[in-house]
């Protein structure tokens, strides 16, 4: 009984330690797999975390990378934290590697709540001036 209680409490603590994450559902013809975007994660997170200009709460920093073959990878770090600071390098890598590894159409998530929300999304077409995530 005591063991069970401790075990349950541990599971709960582990579950709560991770912030909310979600995979995009995609539709027929949606660009996939987002796994191909994984090679850009380190570059995105390095750049985003070194940003000299603090990202205001509610603002975001984003980058787009072209994949060979005509698709692209859109990355976003949205400041859903409580302070105007740059995103954390390791949180960024952890969340994006998780999403790219298991969400065929990409998705978004947080290391904890509150914290930055990181998005990776594979889309059709080359990078242009605007990042367009969400499918
Ligand atoms: C981000 O973290 C990785 C691994 O912990 C490290 O190798 C890299 O230098 C870090 N990047 C920056 C900009 O600090």
* Cβ-Cβ contacts under 8 Å for 125 (sequence gap 6 or more): 70, 71, 72
Q: What token pair was written down for 115?
A: 């914290």
Residue 64: strand pairing partners: 74
CB of 43 closer than 6 angstroms to any ligand 1 atom: no
Indicate the pLDDT class of residue 129, thresholds 50, 70 and 90.
low
**Average pLDDT for the chain:** 88
Q: Looking at ligand 1, which residue's alpha carbon is closest to its atom 8?
A: 46
**Shortest CA distance to 76 belongs to which of 63, 93, 91?**
63
CB of 12 closer than 6 angstroms to any ligand 1 atom: no
CB of 51 closer than 6 angstroms to any ligand 1 atom: no
Contact 119, 22 (CB under 8 A): no
What is the 3-class SS of 13-24, one letter each residue?
HHHHHCCCEEEC
Name the more confident of 35 and 130: 35
pLDDT of residue 16: 52
Tens of pLDDT, residue by residue over 71-123, are 999 999 999 999 999 999 999 999 999 999 999 999 999 999 999 999 999 99
Could you give the CA distance from residue 28 to residue 112 in angstroms, rounded to a whole number? Answer: 32
Distances (CA, A) of 98 to 40, 53, 104, 107: 14, 27, 11, 10
């Amino acid at each position: 009984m005591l063991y069970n209680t401790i075990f349950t409490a541990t599971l709960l603590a582990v579950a709560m330690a991770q912030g909310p994450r979600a995979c995009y559902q995609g539709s027929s013809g949606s660009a996939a797999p987002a796994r191909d975007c994984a090679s850009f994660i380190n570059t995105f997170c390095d750049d985003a975390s070194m940003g000299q200009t603090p990202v205001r709460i509610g603002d975001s920093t984003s980058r787009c990378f072209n994949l060979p073959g005509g698709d692209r990878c859109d990355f976003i770090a949205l400041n859903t934290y409580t302070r105007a600071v740059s995103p954390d390098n390791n949180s960024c890598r952890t969340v994006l590697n998780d999403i790219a590894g298991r969400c065929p159409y990409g998705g978004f998530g947080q290391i904890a709540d509150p914290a930055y929300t990181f998005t990776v999304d594979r889309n059709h077409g080359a990078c242009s001036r605007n990042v367009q995530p969400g499918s």
